[in-house]
Amino acid sequence: MQTTFKGKHFISLQDWTNEEIDTLLEVSFDLKKKFAMGIPTPYLPYKTNFLMFFEQSTRTRNSMEAGIAQLGGHGNFLDTSTMQVSHGEVAKDTAIILSSYGHGIACRNCVWGVGNKYLREMAKWATVPVMSLQCDLYHPMQGIADLMTIKEKTLTTKNLKVSIIWAYATSHKKPISVPLTQALLFPRYGMDVTLAYPKGYDLPDWAIEQAKENALKYDGSFKITHNMEEAYRDADVVIPKNWGSWVNNSSDDVVDDLLESYKSWKCTEEMMAIANKNVMYMHALPADRGNEVEDSVIDGPHSIVYDEAENRLHTAKAVMTLTMGGK
C-alpha cells in the first residue's frame, strides 16, 4: 500500500500510479463503511478546502462540501464570478494567496483549451494540494467514483466488457472530460473497453494513443467503433453519455447539424436487450432524459446511477483525507 500522499495534486488519474489509486479506493471503501455505521471520521479537523467553481455543479460541489464537513473541516465555496478572477486576476496569484489561507484548493474550470492549463498553473504555484473538480480534459473525481462503483458491483474487472458510448443530448455542449478519463483509466484495470461515437465526436489523438498504451501495459483492451449496436452487444457495463465535438469544432453552439444528424444514438430498452443479461447502466449525471436515455432504462433494474453518484462522496473524502492529511 502506498502511504505518502500529503500535498499530492489530483488533476489527472494519469498522474497517479495504480498502487496509489488502489490505496485511494481502499480508503474510499473504509469511509463508506464508517459512513453507513455512523462512525465519525474527523481526519481533517479545522482544515479548510477552497472550492472554486467556474461552472454549475450538484454532485461535485455537494460531495466536496459535505465531505470536508464530515471529515471535521470546512469547505469554502467560491463562485468565481464573484472573485477577482472575473476581473483578470491570474491563477498564480489566486493559488499563492489561497494556499496561505488554508489546506487545499479544488477547482472546476471546463473552458475548452483553458481549464486544464489553469489547474496546472495553480498547481505550479500552490503550496497545498490542488484538486480538479473537472476541467476541459479530465474529471478524476468522477473517474475514481466510477471505478469504485464497478469494483463493488463485479467480482473482477479483468476482461469486463465496458462500453463508453456517445449519446444525443441538447442541454448544453458538454466537456469530453468524463469519457476521456474513463477511456484512460478502465484499461489500467484489465477491462475490455469499447469507445463508440459517431464521426465528428472524436477524442484527442494523444488520449487514444495513451488509452491503447494503458491497455497494453495492464492487459486490458481498447477499441473504437462508430457503430452503436456493436458497442452494446454483449457489454457488461454501458455508459451512454453525450460529449461535445470540441476536438473538431470549438464553437460553443449546443445544437448544430452534426448533432441533429445523430438523434438515433440513444440508450433504449432495445439497445440494452442486446447487451449482457446482467448489464449495468452508468451515467455521471445529470442525464438528458428522453434524449440520452429512456426513463425506463435509467429508472430500471440495470441502472446503478444512484450508487455511482453516492460514491462521489466517499471518493471525494478519500482524496481530501490523503492529500490534505496523510503522511
| Predicted confidence band of residue 3 (pLDDT cuts 50, 70, 90) | confident
Instruction: Give the three cell numbers for residue 49.
Output: 478546502
What's the average model confidence in pLDDT over 239-265? 96
Domains of the chain: 13-139+309-325 (3.40.50.1370), 141-308 (3.40.50.1370)
The sign of the dihedral angle between the CA atoms of 297, 185, 179, 222 is: negative
Average pLDDT for residues 245-265, to the nearest whole number?
A: 95
Residue-level pLDDT at 203: 98
Average pLDDT, integer, range 78-84: 97
When pLDDT is cut at 50, 70 and 90, the band that residue 2 belongs to is confident
Whether the Cβ atoms of residue 224 and residue 198 lie closer than 8 Å to each other: no
Own/partner contacts of 303-307, CB < 8 Å, gap of 24 or more, are 304/149, 304/153, 304/280, 305/281, 307/149, 307/152, 307/153
Average pLDDT over residues 1-24: 95
In angstroms, the Cα distances linking 295 to 105, 233, 282, 289 are: 37, 21, 13, 6
Average pLDDT over residues 105-134: 98
pLDDT at 326 over 80: no
CA distance 318 to 293: 31
- Residue for cell digits 442486446? 274
Average pLDDT across the chain, whole number: 97
Distance, CA of 19 to CA of 29 (rounded, Å): 15
What's the pLDDT at 135? 98
Question: What angle do helix axes 115-125 and 91-101 make, rounded to 10 degrees?
Answer: 50
E strand or H helix that includes residue 31? helix 18-37
Contact 317, 70 (CB under 8 A): yes
Concatenate the DSSP letters of all residues of 210-243 into one string. HHHHHHHHHT-EEEEES-HHHHHTT-SEEEEE--
Q: Does residue 62 sit in helix, strand or coil?
A: helix
CA 219, distance to chain mean position in Å, is 23
Question: pLDDT by residue (tens digit) across 265-283?
Answer: 999 999 999 999 999 999 9
Q: How many CB atoms lie within 10 A of CB 275?
A: 21
Residues 6 or more apart whose CB falls under 8 angstroms from that of 5 comprise 20, 23, 322, 323, 326, 327
- pLDDT at 327 (0 to 100): 73
pLDDT, mean of residues 44-49: 98
Q: Could you tell me the pTM of the whole model?
A: 0.97
pLDDT at 170 over 90: yes
222's grid cell:
481498447
| Assigned C-alpha cell, 185 | 483509466
Predicted confidence (pLDDT) at residue 77 exceeds the cutoff of 80: yes
H or E element, residue 311: helix 305-320
Give the containing element (helix H, strand E) for 206: helix 205-218
Enumerate the β-bridge partners of residue 76: 50
Predicted confidence (pLDDT) at residue 1 exceeds the cutoff of 80: no
pLDDT at 130 over 80: yes
